[in-house]
Amino acid sequence: MILQSRPVTADDIKIICSFVLDARELFYMFPKAQYPLTEVQLADAIAKRFDSTVVEAGDGVVGFANFYRAETGGVCCIGNVIVAQEVRGKGVASFLVETMMALAFDRYDATEVQVSCFNENTAGLLLYPKLGFLPFAVEERVSPDHRRTALIHMRRGRAGGA
C-alpha cells in the first residue's frame, strides 16, 4: 500500500467523519465533540488548529490528524488522530504520526512533539512508544459514560524519546 500525505480539503471532511465508528472512538479522537461527529464539528476544529493533514492510499483518504498547538522553536501537539477502519493495523497510523512529527520538526523547528492517548485506547498506547514517545504525565478525565479515565501525555524529542 503506497501512502502519501497532503493538507486536508473541504471535500475530505465528510470522509473523515465516516472514520469514527462509535462514541468511544470519537472520544479518543476528539473528546470535546458530540457523537456522531458532524462535518460542522470537524470543520470548526480544523479552522482552530494547525496543519490538518490527510493520508491517502490509492485514490482514497484513509487517515487524518492535526496540531492543536504548534510553537515555532517549541512544542507541537498532535491531535484528532483517526484512521479508516479498513486500513487499521496496516501502517497508516505510523505513517500519519511520522508525517506530523516531520512537519513539527521541519516547519516549526519544534524541540519536541507531544501526543495524548486515553488509557483504554490500546492501539494508540501500543503505537506511540514504537515511534519514540515516552509518557510524562497522566491527567484524570471523565469518559462519555461518566467513568473515570486517564489521559496519558507522551512526548518525543527530535532525536527520539523525551
Mean pLDDT per 10-residue interval, the chain, length 162 residues: 97 98 96 97 98 96 98 97 97 98 98 98 97 98 95 93 68
Confirm whether 70 is domain-assigned. yes
Confirm whether 17 is domain-assigned. yes
> Measured between alpha carbons, how far is 14 from 17 in angstroms, rounded to an integer?
5
Confirm whether 130 is domain-assigned. yes
Helix, strand or coil, per DSSP, at residue 9: coil
Total domain count for the chain?
A: 1
What per-residue confidence (pLDDT) applies to 162?
Answer: 66
What per-residue confidence (pLDDT) applies to 66?
Answer: 98
Q: Domain holding 97: CATH number?
A: 3.40.630.30
Tell me, what amino acid is at 129? P
Confirm whether 64 is domain-assigned. yes
This prediction has a pTM of 0.97
> Measured between alpha carbons, how far is 8 from 23 in angstroms, rounded to an integer?
23
On whether the CB atoms of residues 125 and 119 are closer than 8 A, the answer is yes
What per-residue confidence (pLDDT) applies to 159?
Answer: 83
Identify which of 15, 18, 90, 9 has the alpha carbon closest to the alpha carbon of residue 53. Answer: 9
Confirm whether 162 is domain-assigned. no
Q: Looking at the chain, how many residues does it have? A: 162
Q: Which domain holds residue 27?
A: 3-157
